[in-house]
């Protein structure tokens, strides 16, 4: 079984092949923007949820 | 836009064509390190005093007040910064507090407390938020440094130990007694006048006065030797009785009757023979001017060997500080007394001690309350005049 020549088979919807630059674009976008933003949003949302909880159940008690 | 997202998803949802798995893992790993470090750094930075006082609302008000306290400067050089006391250290509570700070960001943007006046107006409410937290978590932020178990009772002052030890036994919350330890107390509690007392003062300001009747002071009232109210003669303590002799414009001619000790200058007029219940404090020049007094009976107190004389003096006071009866004053004093004491311990009945024991008892304790000087004088007098010397069936 010989080594296949690299011929990109993955294509975009309209048939244009996915370029290397496009792939990097997506990777960097996800790792440095989308996931960090999501993490901050989740932690922040958790904080807000706890705050709202405190409105009903009062401030945190002692451990 | 939707097309862009679809294209983005298509690239994301299938195996990479050009980028090796190793590079992807490294990219994710590096991004993770940067994110985690950045997140923690952001938490740390927003948890510093420098960050807190970067807004003038904090710098000019609460931080200035902190500077005068032991939590800012002391002999050991250990100090508490803003977040030590005001940001919970537990992660979940800390994150919740960080989110609550969105309210502070709002306030900073819209200037909710951007002037000293606005800040003072909100001070009670803001303080109550903090007190509620300290009360619920048993002063956890204090206890990150202070610990009942590490207190050396022998090194503590006697007075401090008498309070601290029972508090330790009950594991009492620090802020129960130590409100205002790092910042000024809200004026409603401290320097300002209690609304209940203010109401009595308003009543006094509008009271109809009849010559020849007996009246009582609501708060301290300045005394003068002349109807023009120019030369100071001393002052009447709260809840002291006077006889109204005459009225001239805004000035009232009042007669103060009481007992003086025949020792020193006799500057203090007492309510009764042998009773250290002050009703008026006179200037030295007035107290030593015998011509001003109509002296009565002389009597020696066998208990102390001091000679007392019954004396009346007629002086002038400004209109507006007198009430025809003092039941309402006693009601206010009783409420203040039980409120102030019961924070830390059950208060003894006024008739538990005699009139001459109360001043020492009271002055040893009153520093733990937030009564102002005026209220202290009133409450002390209430206790003395309801002490075992006056109460029936007392022990």
In 3-state terms chain B splits into helix, strand, coil percentages (rounded to 5) of 45, 15, 35
pLDDT band at B243 (very low <50, low <70, confident <90, very high): very high
Asked whether the beta carbons of B329 and B240 are under 8 A apart, the reply is no
**Which residues of chain A does B18 touch, with a Cβ-Cβ cutoff of 8 Å?**
18-20, 23-24
In this model, does residue B135 exceed pLDDT 60?
yes
Give chain B's contact residues with A (Cβ, < 8 Å).
6-8, 10-12, 14, 16-19, 24, 27-28, 31, 34-35, 38-39, 88, 90, 92-93, 95-100, 132-133, 135-138, 140
Burial of B33 (0-12, 13-18, 19+ CB in 10 A): exposed
Mean predicted confidence (pLDDT) in A9-29: 78
Find chain B residues with C-beta within 8 A of A26's C-beta. Answer: 8, 11-12
* Residue in A19, A39, A60 nearest the CB of B35: A39
Mean pLDDT of B342-367: 87
- Top pLDDT among B279 and A1 is at B279
Residue A51 to residue B133, Cβ atoms within 8 A: no
In a domain, A63, yes or no: no
Q: How far is B8 from chain A (nearest CA, A)?
A: 7
Count other Cβ atoms within 10 Å, centred on residue B339: 14
Residue A9 lies in a domain: no
Overall number of domains in chain A? 1
Tell if the CB–CB gap between A46 and B16 is shorter than 8 Å: no
CA B54/CA B90 separation, integer angstroms: 24
What confidence tier does B138 reach under pLDDT thresholds 50, 70, 90?
Answer: very high
Q: Which of A26, A35, A49, A63 to mutate to test the interface with B (most CBs of B within 10 A)?
A: A26
Is-contact B308 B259, C-beta < 8 A?
A: yes
Residue A25 lies in a domain: yes
Q: What is the mean pLDDT of the segment spanning B68-93?
A: 93
Which helix (H) or strand (E) segment holds residue B38: the answer is: helix B21-45
Q: Inter-chain contact B17–A61, Cβ cutoff 8 Å?
A: no
Contact residues of A toward B, CB < 8 A: 8-10, 12-13, 18-20, 22-24, 26-32, 35-36, 39-40, 43-44, 46-48, 50-51, 54, 58-63
Instruction: Check pLDDT > 70 for residue B295.
Output: yes
Q: What percent of chain B has pLDDT over 90?
A: 46
Within a domain: A1: no
Say if residue B366's pLDDT is above 90.
no
Mean local confidence (pLDDT), B245-255: 91
Residues of A whose CB is below 8 A from B100: 51
Residues from chain B that touch A51, judged by Cβ atoms under 8 A, are: 96, 99-100
Token pair belonging to B366: 């009153």
Q: Which residues of A touch B138 (CB under 8 A)?
A: 61-62
Query: Which of B11, B31, B140 has the CB atom closest to A26's CB atom?
Result: B11
8 Å CB contact of A23 and B132: no
CA distances from B278 to B270, B285, B297, B361, B391 (A): 4, 19, 19, 16, 19
A23 inside domain: yes
Q: Render pLDDT for B181-192 as a digit per residue (tens, 0 to 9).
A: 999 888 766 555
Q: How far is B145 from chain A (nearest CA, A)?
A: 15
Distance from A34 to chain B by nearest Cα, in Å?
Answer: 11
Strand positions, DSSP E, B79-227: 214-217, 221-224
Q: Tell if the CB–CB gap between B14 and A26 is shorter than 8 Å.
A: no
Report for B88-92, B208-212, B295-299: range of highest mean pLDDT: B88-92
Please judge whether A63 and B93 are an interchain contact, meaning their C-beta atoms are less than 8 angstroms apart: no
B chain contacts of residue A39, beta-carbon cutoff 8 Å? 35, 39
Per the domain annotation, does A8 fall within a domain? no
| pLDDT of A2 above 50 | no
Chain A residues close to B9, C-beta within 8 Å: none
Domain of residue A24: give its range.
Answer: 18-58
For the cut 90, the answer to whether the pLDDT of residue B71 exceeds it is yes
Higher pLDDT, B194 or A36: A36
**Is the model's pLDDT at B334 over the cut of 70?**
yes
Instruction: Give pLDDT, residue A15.
Output: 63
Composition of chain A by helix, strand, coil, percent to 5: 60, 5, 35
**Which residue's structure tokens are 């001091």?**
B306
Residue A12 lies in a domain: no
With a cut of 70, say whether residue A3 has pLDDT above it.
no
In a domain, A4, yes or no: no
B344: closest CA of chain A, how far (Å): 20
Residue A5, pLDDT above cutoff 60:
no
ipTM: 0.76
pLDDT tens digit string along B167-213? 899 899 998 888 889 998 887 665 556 777 877 887 888 788 889 99
Please report, rounded to a whole number, the percentage of residues in chain B having pLDDT higher than 70. Answer: 97
Contact A32 B34 (CB under 8 A): yes
In whole angstroms, give the CA distance from residue B385 to residue B118.
42
**Which residues face B238 on adjacent strands?**
none
Cβ separation of A58 and B88 shorter than 8 Å?
Answer: no
Q: Mean pLDDT in chain B?
A: 89
Contacts of A15 in chain B (CB under 8 A): none
Q: Assess whether pLDDT exceeds 60 at residue A6.
A: no
pLDDT band, very low/low/confident/very high, at B144 (cuts 50, 70, 90): very high
Report residue A52's pLDDT band, with 50, 70 and 90 as the boundaries: very high
């Amino acid at each position: 079984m010989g080594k296949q020549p690299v011929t990109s088979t993955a294509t975009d919807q309209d048939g244009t092949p996915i370029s290397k630059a496009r792939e990097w674009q997506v990777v960097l976008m996800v790792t440095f923007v989308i996931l960090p933003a999501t993490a901050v949003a989740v932690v922040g949302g958790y904080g807000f949820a706890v705050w709202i909880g405190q409105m009903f159940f009062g401030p945190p008690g002692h451990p | 836009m939707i097309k862009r997202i679809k294209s983005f998803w298509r690239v994301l949802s299938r195996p990479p064509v050009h980028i090796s798995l190793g590079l992807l893992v490294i990219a994710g790993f590096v991004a993770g390190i940067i994110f985690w470090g950045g997140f923690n750094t952001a938490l740390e930075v927003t948890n510093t005093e420098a960050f807190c006082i970067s807004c003038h609302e904090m710098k000019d008000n609460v931080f200035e007040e902190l500077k005068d306290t032991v939590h800012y400067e002391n002999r050991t050089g250990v100090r508490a910064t803003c977040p030590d006391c005001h940001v919970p250290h537990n992660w979940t509570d800390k994150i919740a507090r960080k989110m609550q700070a969105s309210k502070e960001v709002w306030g900073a943007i819209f200037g909710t407390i951007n002037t000293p006046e606005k800040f003072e107006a909100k001070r009670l409410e803001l303080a109550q938020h903090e007190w509620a937290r300290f009360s619920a978590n048993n002063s956890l932020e204090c206890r990150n440094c202070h610990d009942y178990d590490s207190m050396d009772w022998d090194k503590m002052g006697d007075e401090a130990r008498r309070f601290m030890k029972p508090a330790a036994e009950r594991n009492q919350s620090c802020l129960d007694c130590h409100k205002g330890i790092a910042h000024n107390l809200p004026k409603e509690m401290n320097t300002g006048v209690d609304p209940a007392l203010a109401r009595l003062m308003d009543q006094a300001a509008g009271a109809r006065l009849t010559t020849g009747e007996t009246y009582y002071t609501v708060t301290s009232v300045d005394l003068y030797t002349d109807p023009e109210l120019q030369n100071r003669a001393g002052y009447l303590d709260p809840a002291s009785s006077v006889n109204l002799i005459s009225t001239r414009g805004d000035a009232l001619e009042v007669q103060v009757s009481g007992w003086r000790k025949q020792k020193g200058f006799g500057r203090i007029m007492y309510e009764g023979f042998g009773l250290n219940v002050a009703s008026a404090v006179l200037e030295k020049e007035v107290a030593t001017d015998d011509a001003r007094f109509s002296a009565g009976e002389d009597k020696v107190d066998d208990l102390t060997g001091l000679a007392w004389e019954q004396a009346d003096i007629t002086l002038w006071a400004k209109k507006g500080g007198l009430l025809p009866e003092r039941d309402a004053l006693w009601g206010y004093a009783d409420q203040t007394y039980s409120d102030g004491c019961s924070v830390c311990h059950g208060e003894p009945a006024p008739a538990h001690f005699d009139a001459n024991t109360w001043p020492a008892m009271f002055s040893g304790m009153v520093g733990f309350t937030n009564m102002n000087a005026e209220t202290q004088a009133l409450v002390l007098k209430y206790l003395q005049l309801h002490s075992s010397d006056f109460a029936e069936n007392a022990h």
